[in-house]
């Protein structure tokens, strides 16, 4: 299946697992919160599999894993405050920007406006993006500050469209997981799945979409689309 990128006028990036390998920092923040409440901590590989739906769901999964799925809202809120504080104190001390991402956003800035659309709350997302050196390239950051905004809901992508002044068919959602793909589908945006992130291997049965293995593939494809030469990517 082929995909024509000539209609693309803006790009929305997921954050965790797409722009940044933030799993070590998420693990640190989660374990810091759990430790402060005397709870079990978890290794990186397990936490990596829980990433993608925001900190509240992450905390819920950690609680359920140790038989505390019925913990009350006040306790969950306290864990969330510890998690946020640890994230803001060290937004990218253990993680790293994926190779090629900074070259990608620097190159795309000359072609299209870019935004971040993430299930991280906006203050945490902006802190990570700033530490990663990506924030100056973005027109806006759309975080899931309420549960209703969380991907796979389309609200953040639609807000991103309004922010950069394009209709959904002209905004390309780039992400690594099922919530990204479902959010794009719900919003009416085309989607691109990156294979270097956390959740792409769980999407084997998903309808064909663009898949890329390295950031420069997107940059090259959009440059070609703008030049009117070879604007097609294969899924």
Options 4, 14, 32, 180, the catalytic residue: 14
Query: What SS3 state is found at 56?
Result: helix
Q: Greatest CA separation found in the chain?
A: 59
Both ends of the chain: CA-CA distance in Å?
A: 6
DSSP states of 172-223: EEEESSHHHHHHHHHHT--EEEETTSSSGGG-TTSPP-EEESSHHHHHHHHH
Question: Does residue 14 have an active-site annotation?
Answer: yes
Q: Are strands 191-194 and 171-175 parallel, antiparallel or unpaired?
A: parallel
Taking the C-alpha atoms of 12, 27, 24 and 137 in order, what is their torsion angle to the nearest 10 degrees?
30
176: exposed, middle or buried (Cβ count in 10 Å: 0-12, 13-18, 19+): buried
Tell me how far apart the alpha carbons of residues 23 and 29 are, in angstroms, rounded to a whole number.
10
| Residues noted as catalytic | 14
């Amino acid at each position: 299946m082929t995909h024509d990128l000539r209609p693309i006028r803006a790009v929305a990036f997921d954050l965790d697992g797409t722009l940044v390998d933030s799993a070590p920092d998420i693990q640190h923040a989660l374990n810091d919160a759990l430790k402060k409440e005397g709870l079990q901590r978890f290794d990186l590989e397990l936490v990596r599999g829980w990433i993608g739906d925001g900190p509240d769901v992450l905390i819920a999964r950690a609680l359920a894993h140790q038989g505390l799925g019925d913990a009350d809202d006040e306790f969950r809120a306290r864990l969330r405050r510890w998690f946020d504080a640890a994230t803001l104190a060290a937004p990218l001390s253990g993680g790293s920007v994926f190779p090629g991402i900074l070259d990608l956003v620097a190159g795309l800035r000359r072609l299209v406006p870019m935004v971040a659309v993430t299930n991280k709350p906006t203050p945490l997302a902006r802190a990570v993006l700033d530490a990663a050196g990506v924030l100056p390239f973005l027109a806006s950051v759309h975080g899931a500050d309420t549960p209703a905004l969380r991907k796979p809901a389309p609200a953040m992508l639609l807000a991103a469209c309004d922010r950069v002044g394009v209709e959904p068919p002209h905004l390309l959602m780039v992400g690594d997981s099922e919530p990204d793909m479902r959010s794009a589908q719900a919003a009416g945006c085309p989607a691109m799945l990156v294979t270097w992130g956390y959740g792409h291997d769980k999407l084997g049965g998903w309808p064909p979409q663009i898949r890329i293995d390295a950031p420069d593939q997107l940059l090259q494809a959009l440059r070609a689309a703008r030049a009117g030469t070879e604007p097609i990517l294969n899924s």
